[in-house]
């Protein structure tokens, strides 16, 4: 992962990365992920849901920090299926949005996909969530499908977006 990858945890995979604006850490704490989720989403997932998700081998999560050990201001949750990353959640706490954190997390994931030879990243986004759509389109995602009536609150279609890595 080029010059940005600095520190390694106990296994061979890194657990913390230096990026240009801040730090990205492996997200391993369901309480902290649930708190972040609550501040970013109206319909938040419960802590138990995060604990359950974490038991799956495909679960991967990261948090974004200004300093290596400061509080998390953003998070990213992905299903890792070896032939694709599927983004389940991405959020930046409201007081820190529009400062490039979401973009840095997306860039990180794209770089990770390249490094790990993952050919594709997929995600779904509410048709009314223009902030997130701007971020995804600016990161090179393209719409491949539309799921009619997929969301209930607020009601609306889901746009399925994809980015080819190689």
Ligand X SMILES: CC(C)(COP(=O)(O)OP(=O)(O)OC[C@H]1O[C@@H](n2cnc3c(N)ncnc32)[C@H](O)[C@@H]1OP(=O)(O)O)[C@@H](O)C(=O)NCCC(=O)NCCS
Among 4, 51, 129, 157, the residue binding ligand X under the rule CB under 6 A is 129
Q: Where are the alpha helices (DSSP H) in the chain?
A: 30-40, 47-54, 101-115, 130-138
- Comparing CB distances to ligand X, the nearer of 9 and 154 is 154
Nearer to ligand X, 138 or 164 (CB): 138
Could you give the CA distance from residue 5 to residue 15 in angstroms, rounded to a whole number? Answer: 9
Selected from 125, 158, 159, 161, the binder of ligand X by CB under 6 A is: 125
Q: Which residues contact 20 (CB under 8 A, 6 or more apart)?
A: 4, 104
Contact criterion met (CB below 8 Å) for 144 and 162: yes
Q: Which of 18, 26, 38, 103 binds ligand X (CB under 6 A)?
A: 103
Residue 128 binds to ligand X (criterion: CB under 6 A): no
- 154 CB burial (10 A radius; 0-12, 13-18, 19+): exposed
**Shortest distance (Å) from residue 16 CB to ligand X:** 20
> Which letter does DSSP use for residue 3 in this model?
G
Q: Does 98 interact with ligand X (rule: CB under 6 A)? A: yes
Answer for which of 61, 135, 159, 161 binds ligand X (CB under 6 A) is 135
Which residues are at the interface with ligand X (CB under 6 A)? 40-41, 90-92, 97-103, 125, 129-132, 134-135, 138
């Amino acid at each position: 992962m080029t010059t940005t990858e600095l520190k390694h945890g106990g296994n061979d995979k890194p657990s913390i990365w230096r990026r240009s604006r801040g730090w990205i850490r492996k997200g391993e704490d369901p309480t902290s992920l649930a708190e972040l989720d609550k501040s970013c989403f109206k319909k938040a997932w419960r802590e138990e849901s995060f604990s359950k998700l974490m038991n799956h081998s495909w679960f991967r999560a990261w948090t974004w920090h200004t300093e290596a050990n400061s509080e998390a201001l953003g998070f990213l949750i992905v299903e890792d299926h070896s032939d694709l990353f599927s983004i389940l959640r991405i959020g930046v706490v409201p007081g820190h949005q529009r400062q490039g954190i979401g973009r840095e997390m997306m860039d990180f994931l794209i770089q990770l996909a390249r490094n790990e030879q993952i050919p594709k990243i997929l995600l779904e986004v509410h048709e009314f969530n223009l902030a997130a759509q701007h971020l995804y389109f600016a990161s090179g995602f393209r719409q491949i499908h539309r799921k009619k009536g997929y969301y209930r609150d607020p009601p609306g279609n889901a746009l399925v977006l994809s980015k080819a890595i190689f």
